Amino acid sequence: MITAGSPPGAGIVDVTVTTPGGTSATSPADRYAYTPVVNGVGPSSGSAAGGDTVTIVGAGFTGATGVRFGPAAAPNMTVDSDMQITAVSPPGTGLVDVTVTTPGGTSATNSADQFIYPPSGVPPPVVNAITPPSGSAAGGDAVTVIGAMFTGATGVWFGVAAAPAMTVDFDAQITATSPPGTGLVDVTVTTPGGTSATSAADQFTYL
């Protein structure tokens, strides 16, 4: 018997042993499956009726067999890569954890995987302008988000990446720090009322 610590990895792999006599042949008996990890969900809120397209980022998604929003299964999902899944949200209520299941198991819940179904009657925020409209690919820029209904905001997203810091200056303005990124992304704001709809007014370009 050999006891070994697993290195970083994803999906299902063969575990082999090398001795002076050679390396063990692979077989179904030597397979090891990595448990997936969810590091972010964007947007982080959507309609109680479901039907929103949600991007899930993390690791170990190869071979994923399902995505759940709390106890409810996503009606549709696509494994874009080992680090990204696009799923359609099912109907739901309140705050739920988004989990991914693969042959290696189901992702552990954490604060980064949470998705909010806003209560009825609470309007979502609106983003009307971003200044400056561009910044460094390394992130770290102070970006002013202008709009409405920002009171109680819980997050600002640059595409699918969460801003590492944000301050609600007042109901119509947020100051956020840009995360690292590339290309053109939509900057969205999440509050208890939901996530702002994307538009040409919310776009930010990484230089």
Mean pLDDT for back-to-back runs of 10 residues, the chain (207 residues): 76 80 83 83 83 89 94 95 93 92 90 82 88 96 95 89 93 96 93 86 96
CA distances from 84 to 37, 105, 106 (A): 11, 17, 15
Contact 58, 82 (CB under 8 A): no
Class of domain 126-206 as given by CATH:
mainly beta
Residue 151 CB partners (closer than 8 Å, separation 6+):
168, 171, 191
Domains 37-117 and 126-206 share a fold: yes
- Give which of 67, 62, 115, 104 is closest to 88, Cα–Cα: 67
pLDDT of amino acid 191: 86
Q: Would you give the end-to-end CA distance of the chain in angstroms?
A: 53
Domain ranges, ordered by start, for the chain: 37-117, 126-206
Class of domain 37-117 as given by CATH:
mainly beta
